[in-house]
Amino acid sequence: MNLIILGPPGAGKGTQAAFIASEQNIPHISTGDMLREAIKNGTELGLQAKAVMDAGNLVSDELIIELVKERISQDDCKNGFLFDGFPRTESQAYALDSLLENFNTSISGMIALEVDDEILISRLLERGKDSGRADDSNREIIENRISEYYNKTAILKTYYQRKNCYYGVNGIGEIDEITSRIIDVMSKI
């Protein structure tokens, strides 16, 4: 099963992704974690990414796709994988589809956690108290991050609906309630 989990900042993607990956016995793949790991290990892609990031720029889709290609080529991905927060744009989704065709596979389902903005803001401000993350402690920054998600990533809903593999999940409630909803959705994928 090849899955994607998406949702705005504060929706609980990381928490639910860990559960899904464990439940399905597939690797949880975060492109952010992959970038940090490649940089730390000094790989060729990591060095390229570091140069781009050190210059204050965003890593290109091409570089991200190369990292993804490298990762899904590994043995632990043979029975599937879960992308956490990737793809983020329609161009990344197209590139991912093209890449997966080379592996004779495709995305089985995209699970989107849906949460009202005020709840997201409240969750992130609360998380900011514990995490010390500046981007979780400032309402204006949080609102901008949520806006960026809606402008760039939420459009993937339509993309995956056209492929009949979009599954919206109510992300409001206790963690185990949300997990239960995801289990129900996964039984339909």
Q: How confident is the model at residue 106 (pLDDT cuts 50, 70, 90)?
A: very high
Prediction pTM value: 0.89
Tens digit of each residue's pLDDT (9 = 90 or more) over 12-43 = 999 999 999 999 999 999 988 888 899 999 99
Q: What average pLDDT does the segment 155-175 reach? A: 96
pLDDT at 181: 97
Q: How confident is the model at residue 58 (pLDDT cuts 50, 70, 90)?
A: confident
Nearest partner of 15 among 108, 74, 66, 84, judged by Cα? 84
Of 10-24, 48-62, 106-120, least confident by mean pLDDT is 48-62
How far does Cα 134 stand from its chain's mean position? Answer: 21
pLDDT at 76: 96
pLDDT at 8: 93
Q: How confident is the model at residue 166 (pLDDT cuts 50, 70, 90)?
A: very high
pLDDT at 133: 75
Nearest partner of 6 among 179, 154, 158, 123, judged by Cα? 154
Q: How far apart are CA 178 and CA 184, in angstroms?
A: 10
pLDDT at 56 over 80: no
Q: Which residues are catalytic?
A: 13, 88, 127, 133, 145
Dmax over Cα atoms in the chain, in whole Å? Answer: 45
Cα angle value 173/177/179 (rounded, 5°):
115
pLDDT at 163 over 90: yes
Q: What average pLDDT does the segment 108-116 reach? A: 97
55-69, 127-141, 172-186, range with greatest mean pLDDT: 172-186
Q: What average pLDDT does the segment 126-138 reach? A: 85
pLDDT at 131 over 90: no
